[in-house]
């Protein structure tokens, strides 16, 4: 049993894999699923084809992500992953260790090994003439395949005729602000490919809209659809270098003090009782002094006493006015007092009684709308017969209307 366990552990361990890319040249490393299948248990039934979904996670050792120049893509769990990028001269001589972790989505097991990238210097870096092409009918993982990239470099060499030609970088159109294509007609997202050479640009590359360009396009059209409106040609010899100097740090930038030296663990605990007293005692004392000053001013000083007496008198006057307003009787205007019939002597009540809502009263009142009606006789112009007239008899504040009439006549 111990021997079997030792063999199992050794089968899962991998030696570091070393690669040696050149600075300024496209680096491509394929993470093959077949390479990791042996690290996971087979299917329960013998003879079944193993097609486990496997995904990869790549990061710089000791860090959660990869270096800035290195990208990774894997379209589906059943396809291989690809690491690609273009190292610069800043990384020459500095081994870059990439941790590669494979996840089996069927068994949830993992396998890991390290990829050591040793970036080498090259005399050809940088190539002075660089051209960037936009290929519309390719995805980035398709373009990274060695045979496809070789065919593209061969087509570029035919229209450029350089002595040295290298692929510098490959970028997906989605990383350059492109949109995700619709899933119809097998549309591709597009890819930018930058190549460098040691000779000036040819005429078909410089004259995009000329007839020479049409002949140039035919050499790519068989496999690569180039968008010639997006071609970019750069001559490094004519580029004016821009040196950006760091400004002097202002007063808000602390000077460098070296490494951080934390305080020792033997620090004594601080007594905050005095701080507590100062925080509470001082505001309380100030508030107490202000309270005594206000009390002395309002109760002991003549000005304060006068203000208190004046305030008390205002309150008494207000209460007296409110009590008087409740008991007062408002004299009725003459237009609301009842009138009497000069022939019969009977009293006619006013049109608008005290307890009748005038807002809902009709403009012309009928006898059917009147309440508390009193029938009195009325003399006709011709003859001795009398007719009956109907009036209301009302009381206002417990006083009959006849008394109101008498009071009005006495006025």
Going by C-beta distance under 8 Å and a sequence separation of 6 or more, which residues neighbour residue 404?
332, 337, 338, 396
* pLDDT for position 212: 62
* Rounded Cα–Cα distance for residues 300 and 191 (Å): 92
- Decide which of 3.20.20.140, 3.40.50.2000, 2.60.40.10, 2.130.10.30 is the CATH code for 2-117: 2.60.40.10
Task: Please count the other Cβ atoms lying within 10 Å of the Cβ belonging to residue 106.
Answer: 14
* Rounded Cα–Cα distance for residues 373 and 390 (Å): 6
* pLDDT for position 368: 46
Q: Give the orientation angle of helix 273-299 with respect to helix 302-327, to 10 degrees.
A: 70
What are the domain boundaries of the chain?
2-117, 129-238, 336-350+374-411
The tokens for 317 are 């006057």
Cα four-point dihedral sign 65, 66, 67, 69: negative
CA distances from 18 to 85, 118, 234 (A): 16, 7, 33
The dihedrals phi and psi of 104, each to the nearest 5 degrees, come to: -90, 115
pTM score over 0.75: no
* Rounded Cα–Cα distance for residues 48 and 185 (Å): 35
Residue ranges of the chain with pLDDT lower than 50?
1-13, 356, 358-361, 363-376, 378-379, 383-387, 389-391, 405
Residue length of the chain: 411
The SS3 of residue 254 is: coil
Cα dihedral value 345, 350, 355, 358, nearest 10: 160
* pLDDT for position 170: 94
Q: DSSP characters for 179-234?
A: PPPPSSTT----EEEEEEESSPPPHHHH-TTSHHHHHHHHHHHTT--B-GGG-EEE
- Say which residue the tokens 């505001």 belong to: 283
Cα dihedral value 42, 43, 45, 48, nearest 10: -100
**Class of domain 129-238 (CATH, top level):** alpha beta
């Amino acid at each position: 049993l111990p021997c079997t366990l030792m063999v199992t552990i050794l089968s899962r361990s991998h030696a570091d894999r070393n690669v040696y890319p050149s600075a300024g040249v496209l680096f491509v490393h394929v993470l093959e699923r077949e390479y990791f299948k042996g690290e996971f248990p087979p299917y329960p039934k013998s003879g079944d084809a193993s097609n486990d979904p496997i995904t990869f996670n790549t990061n710089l050792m000791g860090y959660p992500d990869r270096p800035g120049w290195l990208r990774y893509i894997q379209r589906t769990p059943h396809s291989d992953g690809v690491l690609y990028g273009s190292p610069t001269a800043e990384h020459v001589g500095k081994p870059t260790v990439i941790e590669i972790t494979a996840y089996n989505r069927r068994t949830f097991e993992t396998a890991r090994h390290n990829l050591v990238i040793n970036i080498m210097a090259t005399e050809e870096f940088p190539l002075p003439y660089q051209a960037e092409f936009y290929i519309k009918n390719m995805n980035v993982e398709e373009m990274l395949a060695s045979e496809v990239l070789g065919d593209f470099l061969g087509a570029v060499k035919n229209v450029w005729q350089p002595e040295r030609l290298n692929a510098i970088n490959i970028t997906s159109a989605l990383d350059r602000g492109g949109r995700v294509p619709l899933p119809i007609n097998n549309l591709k997202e597009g890819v930018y490919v930058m190549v460098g050479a040691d000779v000036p640009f040819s005429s078909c590359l410089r004259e995009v809209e000329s007839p020479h360009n049409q002949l140039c396009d035919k050499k790519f059209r068989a496999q690569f659809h180039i968008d010639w409106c997006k071609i970019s040609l750069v001559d490094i010899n004519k580029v004016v270098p821009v040196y950006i100097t760091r400004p002097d740090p202002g007063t808000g930038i602390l000077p460098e003090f070296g490494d951080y030296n934390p305080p020792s663990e033997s620090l004594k605990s601080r007594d905050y009782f005095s701080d507590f007293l100062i925080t509470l005692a001082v505001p309380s004392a100030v508030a107490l002094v202000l309270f005594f000053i206000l009390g002395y001013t309002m109760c002991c000083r003549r000005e304060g006493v006068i203000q208190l007496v004046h305030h008390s008198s205002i309150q008494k006057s207000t209460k007296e006015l409110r009590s008087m307003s409740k008991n007062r009787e408002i004299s009725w205007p003459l237009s609301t007092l009842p009138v009497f019939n000069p022939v019969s002597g009977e009293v006619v009540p006013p049109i608008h009684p005290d307890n009748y809502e005038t807002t809902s009263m009709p403009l012309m009142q009928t006898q059917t709308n009147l309440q508390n009606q009193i029938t009195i006789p009325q003399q006709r112009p011709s003859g001795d017969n009398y007719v009956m007239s109907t009036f209301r008899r009302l009381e206002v504040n417990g006083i009959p209307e006849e008394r109101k009439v008498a009071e009005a006549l006495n006025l």
